[in-house]
Amino acid sequence: MPTTAIPDHVLSPDPSEQDELVELREQLARIAAQREPTARLVGPDGSEVEIPASAFAALQAVVRDMAQGLTITLIPHDKELTTKEAADILGVSRPFLVRLLDRGEIPYHRVGTHRRLNVEDFPPEACEPVGVEAIHPDDFLLDFHDLNPDAVRAALEQQAGDLNPPWPLDELLHALRTAGVPRFVDAIRARL
């Protein structure tokens, strides 16, 4: 799997934008509180595009943390990292990370002679000292569900409908349970 440069995925809030980020966080919360929120992006020319519920939930999460002055790193769940990328994310030196890998404290695999790490393999004890929290996908999705259950359900329905051929929601939920997020699926089913 190819790797990409991580710096493009690091989002640091500009301190001069603090008030605007707090206001945006509050506006997003008001939109999310509506019975059927439909958010739109409006371009400088007045063109509009609807924001899918899943993207809206992600925007809320990012803005919430940035409004608190936190730097956010966005990494796709199945992303493989080089040792340099992983060290940069953890805020440690590459040689220190390689020692952790060689001692078996963080799982990795080799691509030729190069070590690669999967994002989901970062153990909490390796992440905690450098202020990074790796959470199970089930917990991650439940956090989104807690923020806005209706938007998450709408995103799942849209995702099921966008598959080719479209899937019934129940079939998508079964696939998610099989993929390892059973508590999230139970939370969704409890609201059906």
Q: What's the pLDDT score for residue 185?
A: 92
Residue 36 and residue 63 share a domain: yes
The answer to the question of residue 1 being in a domain is: no
Q: What's the pLDDT score for residue 27?
A: 87
Residue 108 and residue 160 share a domain: no
The answer to the question of residue 39 being in a domain is: yes
The answer to the question of residue 2 being in a domain is: no
Domains identified in the chain, total number: 3
Residue with the larger pLDDT of the pair 133 and 41: 41
The answer to the question of residue 23 being in a domain is: yes
Query: Which residues have C-beta within 8 Å of that of residue 123, sequence separation ≥ 6?
Result: 105, 106, 134
Identify the domain boundary among 32, 55, 73. 73
pTM recorded for the entire structure: 0.48
Token pair recorded at residue 58: 């992600």
CA 132 to chain centre: 13
- pLDDT tens figures, 132-168: 666 677 777 888 888 888 889 988 998 888 888 999 9
The answer to the question of residue 162 being in a domain is: yes
Check: CB of residue 181 under 8 Å from CB of residue 172.
Answer: no
The answer to the question of residue 64 being in a domain is: yes
The answer to the question of residue 38 being in a domain is: yes
- pLDDT tens figures, 61-82: 888 888 888 777 777 666 788 8
The answer to the question of residue 171 being in a domain is: yes
Domain that residue 24 falls in: 7-73
